[in-house]
Amino acid sequence: MTWELGNLVDKDACFTDLRGQVALVTGGGTGIGRGIARRLAAEGMGVALCGRRAERLEETVKMIELAGGEALALPADLTRPEAAREVCLGATCRFGQVDALVHSAMLMNFAGLEECSFDLWEAAFATGPRAALLLAQQLVPGMRERGRGGIVLVSSVLGQRPNRNGAAYVAVKGAIEAMTRQMAMALASDGIRVNALAPGLILTHREPTEASLPNKLVPLGRAGTATEMAAVAAFLLSQQSSYITGQVIHADGGTSVQLVPPGFRL
């Protein structure tokens, strides 16, 4: 199989056990969420996409359909508590069931401690951990009945290695990682595995070739791509990772393990 940074060249599936299953991917209109949706569709999964911008979701649907996959756009604002039920109902009405949940939706705002308003804080937590909880509550009963299921919550390297800004963002990612561990323990006996994906510096809106440009802040020397994050998510949902649950998988080029950036000395 031939792979290229930023693009899946050969769409032969790596994880054949995913074929015929269905995934709900939030934040599927752009960035990492879009990359995950396209990869899961390439693996033979039906994909329901949730996001705030309908036009972005439809773009992803077209990409998937042009590649021979099946997808459904479900525009929704996950800050609305009732949105989780509406989205899950739409997905099950179309596909019959949902076998996997990937929660990638997030309010991207890096306001500092003093600039972080109450409304921003509330919206960030509503989109992140609260939506993850409400979506899981809707989908877990069906997974439990079938005796299997997979959940991947998208965190960030900032969940464990915060920067000086992003008070709400960092707190939300920390909460997502704690939820991952709790949900994994609560659902393990039902055959449902829960893991988190923690990306580092990822280029999602630029030319894929830019990921190969040198970056002195990352030990591997470059930024990552949405395609690389999608590969990790697909692995975590597949039976190739059948003995992994409750874990936060860092896909960050080594960023989370370094004390100082390469080239700097204490």
Q: Known catalytic residues? A: 169
Q: How far is CA 219 from CA 161, 200, 232, 255, 262, in A?
A: 15, 11, 19, 6, 6
The first and second tokens of residue 222, run together, are 């470059």
Tell me which residue of 4, 6, 1, 40 sits closest to 223, measured CA to CA: 6
Alpha carbon distance 219, 215 (integer Å) = 8
Nearest Cα residue to 79 out of 134, 159, 156: 134
H-assigned helices in the chain:
31-42, 54-66, 83-95, 118-125, 131-146, 167-187, 226-237
Q: What would the two tokens of residue 137 be? A: 């509550």
Query: Which residues face 225 on adjacent strands?
Result: 203
- 174 C-beta neighbours (distance < 10 Å), count: 17
